[in-house]
Amino acid sequence: MTTRPLQNPPVKRRHIGFKLLSYLLGFSFMATLIAFGAILLSDYYRGINEYSNSITQIRSGYQQSLSYSLWNFDTRQINSQLEGILNFPGVVYVHIESEGNLIHSAGNVLANSEERHSFPLSYQSAGNHYELGELYIDIDYTGLYQELLDKTLEILVTQFLKTFSVSVFVLFIVRLLITRRLKVMSDWAESYSLSQLDQPLDLNLHQHEHDELDSVADAINTMRNKIKQDVRERQKAQSQLEDIKERLALAIDNAALGFCQYHSHNDRIVCNHHFATLMGSTQSELERLSHPLEHIRDLISGDMRAEQKERFNQLLYGRLNRLQNCVNLIDFSGKEKWLDATVQITRFDENLPAEILICVVDKTKEQIASHQAQELTLSLENKVTKRTEELYEEQQRAKINIQKLSQQLERQQQNQSSCLDNPFNNLLLEGMKQGNSALLGRIQQYLDIVLNGQHTMLNLSQSIRQWAEQQLPLQASQVTLKLPLSLILEENEPLICFLLEGMLVQDPLFPACESLELTLSLSGNQARIEACLDVPTAQESLLQQQPDSIGLHQYIIRSQMAGEFAREVVSGNQLKVEFTFALIRER
């Protein structure tokens, strides 16, 4: 099979001056774009900073004065201040809202705005803080973008004219100093051959100057002289090569290397003694064989014989240049051998191999040792596999034991949970024995809350304040609330109100108290609600009385809220009631 050589596509010629001009224009364009991008980016960030500074100035200069004007209802001053804000860069619309209603505005409300800023307006008088409204400022960057666009066009046009004029001048200089002499060198190179080594390269354009191109011409002439000398030395070396080939053949024949060379013109091989021995034959028998490579190919055996024979056939047809493999074969005498073989095409004739070189090294002993090592490895792997299975069975037995222990632990936890409910059962039984309808009513309320209520996100400060506004003013003469601004947590709000009512409203001293102070505070993961009731001295006998539902309160706080409940008398005529509960606990 013969294949046609691939033809190179025609080379497109292009003048070096125009290539240089295109490169200069391209590089200048890229450099201009980079510099322009840096300048444009710098101007953009400077404009953004200017707009940000304007917002800062508006906040520092107008927030307090607008708040004062709103407090005094000075509409004229407010409109004047809003008009003043419109004079800042980028501000297109400004307005004031109070409780969701627009009360003052200035500017174009229909103008496009890309950013909005807002500032709270408040006023402080006599220790009280009043929220008056919100100031909104709409910012438009159209002016900044237009300024950047104008600067972009100016820079691009200026840079293009400068770059183009410089490039044209450079093109003229290159044509004058370089391309003319390159044309002389090209004409000389086209006529150059080994038969015309005596013709030197002479530019002959600048008699009194010597530059890099003249140095190239001198180097070419030096190379020409060296080639002349190399040709003479090659002719001398050719004769020496024949002598070396004879000596090399003798050295290969004496080495422990099987060597064989195939010649397609007579379909015969030439081999040394080692190659014939490895093939299980003699030199004379191998060299008399017809189609010797096919006989050698048919000796290949083993698991890879089909693939190795196919690759050998591809080499015979010239599709592969070289093969190197460890080959398992049965030689002509019937013995099994492993050979490290290298097959190389050394010469082609009409795209077909004309000469093939085969070198083989005996690897039989190494392969036998390798097979023995593989058998030993397989034996070890089987032992490891067996031990792994045994370990897996032991692991499964351990898992079963762990599951049994887990079930026992769950049963113990269930028994412990049932024990926790004993205090509640005792309270219920005590109320039924005594016929205490108030206690039974409180227990019923608690059960309704637990069964129907859910934990929701709530503001505990706000919930306590609302409860105090609804319950306490009707009973106590003076109520003081010390609550944080907000305390957001997940809790059952009806249960909190139930506990507050039981702690305070249903306490025997509550109807006679003169003042009450209710405090909410935090300590780590614990929240604490504390109530202090002041009673007249005449009511000190009531201080020792306790509400009937105090046991219910202690049970709820300890079991449901992971906290503690305390009720004690302090300072003679003051009752202190508090309970703590965990903010984060297991459900």
Please determine, for residue 2, whether its predicted confidence score (pLDDT) is greater than 50: no
The DSSP secondary structure of 137-203, one letter per residue, reads EEE--HHHHHHHHHHHHHHHHHHHHHHHHHHHHHHHHHIIIIIHHHHHHHHHHHT--GGGTT-----
514 compared with 1, residue with greater pLDDT: 514
5 pLDDT band, cuts 50/70/90, is: very low
Q: Pairing between strand 488-491 and 526-534?
A: unpaired
Window from 112-116, 227-231, 241-245 with minimum mean pLDDT: 112-116
pLDDT of res. 319: 85
Q: What is the mean pLDDT of residues 36-61?
A: 78
Q: What is the mean pLDDT of residues 119-133?
A: 77
pLDDT of res. 543: 61
Tens digits of residue pLDDT in 306-316: 888 888 888 88
* Percentage of the chain exceeding pLDDT 70: 86
Please determine, for residue 553, whether its predicted confidence score (pLDDT) is greater than 70: yes
Tens digits of residue pLDDT in 347-371: 888 888 889 988 888 888 888 888 8
pLDDT of res. 4: 47
Residue with tokens 């049963």: 411
Please determine, for residue 252, whether its predicted confidence score (pLDDT) is greater than 70: no
Chain centre distance of CA 118: 36
Phi, psi for 127 (deg, rounded to 5): 80, 0
Tens digits of residue pLDDT in 398-409: 888 777 777 766
Please determine, for residue 112, whether its predicted confidence score (pLDDT) is greater than 80: no
- Of 88-97, 118-127, 168-177, 380-389, the range with the highest mean pLDDT is 380-389
207 pLDDT band, cuts 50/70/90, is: low
186 compared with 418, residue with greater pLDDT: 186
Residue with tokens 């001198």: 218
Lay out the sheet containing 336-349: strands in order across.
Answer: 268-271, 258-263, 352-362, 336-349, 322-330
pLDDT of res. 537: 65
Return the bridge partners of 457, or none. Answer: 490
Tens digits of residue pLDDT in 449-484: 877 777 788 888 888 888 888 877 645 458 888 888
pLDDT of res. 542: 62
Please, what is the average pLDDT of the chain? 78
pLDDT of res. 541: 62
Q: What is the mean pLDDT of residues 132-150?
A: 78
pLDDT of res. 32: 76
